[in-house]
Structure formats: structure tokens, C-alpha cells
Amino acid sequence: MSPTTPTKPRTLTTATSSISRSAHSQPSSWPAAVTVAAWIAVSALALACQPPPADTAYPTTSAPGEPTELGALLAEAERLMAKRTPSQLLASLEAFERATELLEPNSTRAPEAWSGLADVSALIGLYAVSPANEIMPKARAAAQRALELAPERARTHASLGLVLYLYDWDWPRAETHLRRAIELDPDYGSAHHWLAMLLTASGRHAEAVATMLDALEAEPNSRIIRVKAATVFLAAGDSDRALLQLEEAIQEDPDFALAHREMGYVLMERGAPDDAIVSMERAASLSSGSATTSAALALAYSKGGRLEDAHNTLTALEGSANTDRPIALHLATASIAVGDTEAAIRYVQQAHDERDPGLVYLESKPAFDPIRDDERFRAIADTVFASARSDGDESTD
């Protein structure tokens, strides 16, 4: 692993200005007559006439010689990706794919388009929207294409680092690329964010907190970074700071499903299961059938003594297992919620066979505590974290 980079003490910074509601916000459910492609087109046109939202890292205008809609399409893809719901991730994927089709030879926007495609593809795998063995190789190919086009841009290194740790489980190379991204652009918040998540997943909590504070300093208005900062703080044992982060995030965007889900985890940790259930139910209502959120809701029900509701949630998840959604890891979580640890172990093994990116959080999520000492679980975790625990030298590209 790379040596820890000394960091100066800093205080937690948060946004002080409220985030305005965008006129082009996605509806909670798709009207039957509106396709994803059509909705993206309408949103892109609307976005071209409005200032970019806080989470957008790129301009909405196109460079001279580029197709006029390219800039707006990329900005809309970024905005959709930041929301992290299944429907919006898929819409973001389609927008990035369309952007890559619009690229002219030697386009200056090509690296960000390919990096964006890599990022959203990796997140689609992580959030169990599509099977990892289908979407993650596409993420890797897009990240490699971006890095070839712009080896000195921060985002291209960060995109490859994300794929390397989520799917290849190559922790040293992932950390190398993420740290290189930070060297190239210390103000690129996602590089700090993803490095903090990697450090959290590998149990390096003090480093993770310091790195996430860097992410907040780089992009204090990013809603996704502020919410995931709470995840890092909670894993490090600071539920007070996590609670503060999420209260502010929800106040600014009451319809951000991920913020409500993470709030549910914080409230469970603080011994308030009834309040956690309210947060998880709100997250479920906003997240378009997210398996991740359904499994978390089952945990909340179990913590609150509502075992019948936990069983019903598990049954509903099992019913969706017949689709192509890769939800084995979430079935494991829901099985733990109802006390079926044998089923949980089987589902974790299935998730491993499918190379589910969520396995990188096996060691950091308290949900897996009931099966953590099982030798079958330990064997799976050992394969996921093998390179993270290696004493050998870091590999290079």
C-alpha cells in the first residue's frame, strides 16, 4: 500500500447555500409514454438554458466544433449519476453512451465522456442494477480508453481506480490510481471520495476520515460526497458527525433517496430503530425498487422488532431474484435480518461467484457481523481482500 500522506488538521466544511430545485428534475416514476431516451433529450434541452446544478462538474456548453448538444448531455448525465437511484443511473448510462457517439475525432471532451461512462457503469454494478460480469468489463474498457486519451487528467485515473477496487479487487493498483488523481487535481472531489471509501472498506478509518474531509473541502456543495461522508464517519465510529451531515443533506434535498437510507443506518447504530424504519421506508419510496435499500429496510424492521415486515421484505426481494438483477448480496443481508444465517452464507457465496462489487464492503458493514466468524465467510472475504492484505510491493501499470 502507498504510505499515508500527511494531512494538515482541518475542520468539517459544509455548504451554506441551499440547493435550488431544478425545473428538469426526474419524476418519481416513468410515464408510460415517455422513454428514457426521450426524457434525456428533453432534460438536456432544458439544462442547456439553465445554470448547472451543484453536482455538475463540467460546463453545459459545447466546445467550438463539437455537436451543440454534447455539453448539455454530459452535464445531464453527471446530474443523473449523482442521484444514485436505479432508473437515474440507467438514464445516465444512456446519456454517456450517446455522448461517446457524438464525439468528433480528437474531441477535447472525449476523456470526460469515456470517464463518465466508466464511472456510471461501475456504479450500476455496485448498486445491483445490472450483473457485474456484464457491466464492469465495460466500465474497465471505458476507463482504460479515457486514460489512454488523457493520462495526465485526474478523472481518468480516478475512474480506473474505482473499477480496479470494485471489480478487480486490486486494492494496491486502485489506491495508486486514486492517489495519482489527487496529485493531478487536488480539487477533484470524487478522487478523494472514492479513496476514502476504499480506505473505509479496508479498515483504515483514520485515513478514510481525513481523506473524506479533503473531499468535502474540494467540493463542499456535492450532495453525494456529503452523504457518503456520513458513511465514512459512521464506519469510523462517529455517529454524531454522520448524523449532522445527513440532516443537512436531507434539509437541502428532501428527495435524495441515498441520504434517507444512510440516515437509517445511522439511526440503527444510535439505537433508534423506529426512526430508522421511517428513514428506510422513505428511501425505499424514492429509490425505484432499489435492492440495496430493500435489504437495508429489512434490517431496520428486524432491529425494530417487526419481524413479519422483515420476512415480507425478504420475500419480495426473493421474488425479484428471477430477473437479471444481481441481488444475491442483498438477499444475504435480508436473510441475516430474519435470522437465517445459512441462507445468508449461500447468498454471499453466490455474490462472490457473480463477482458482486458490493463484496468490497464485507468487512466494514455491521450487517454481516452475525456471520463474520463463519469459516465460509472468512474464506470469501480472504479472496476479496487478498491484495489489500498482501505484504508484497504494489503493482504498477
Mean pLDDT of 235-245: 97
What whole-number distance in Å separates Cα of residue 190 and Cα of residue 120?
13
pLDDT of residue 388: 87
Give residue 35's pLDDT band: very low, low, confident or very high (50, 70, 90). very low
pTM: 0.82
pLDDT of residue 30: 32
- The pLDDT tens digits for 53-112 are 344 445 555 555 577 789 999 999 999 999 888 899 999 999 999 999 999 888 999 999
- The closest of 287, 283, 223 to 87, measured between CA atoms, is 287
pLDDT of residue 64: 58
* Contact residues for 35 (Cβ-Cβ < 8 A; gap 6+): none
pLDDT of residue 210: 98
* Contact residues for 376 (Cβ-Cβ < 8 A; gap 6+): 345, 349
Q: Helix 110-126 crosses helix 132-149 at what angle (to 10 degrees)?
A: 160
Residue spans per domain, the chain: 36-53+67-167, 289-397
Cβ 14 vs Cβ 216: under 8 Å: yes
pLDDT of residue 68: 78
Q: Under CATH, which number does the domain 36-53+67-167 receive?
A: 1.25.40
Give residue 180's pLDDT band: very low, low, confident or very high (50, 70, 90). very high
Give residue 322's pLDDT band: very low, low, confident or very high (50, 70, 90). low
Residue tagged 443537512 (cell numbers)? 248
* pLDDT of 262 higher than 60: yes
- The pLDDT tens digits for 117-176 are 999 999 999 998 999 999 999 999 999 999 999 999 999 999 999 999 999 999 999 999
Please tell me what DSSP assigns to residue 50: S
Question: Helices (DSSP H) in 287-369: which residue ranges?
Answer: 291-303, 307-320, 328-337, 341-353
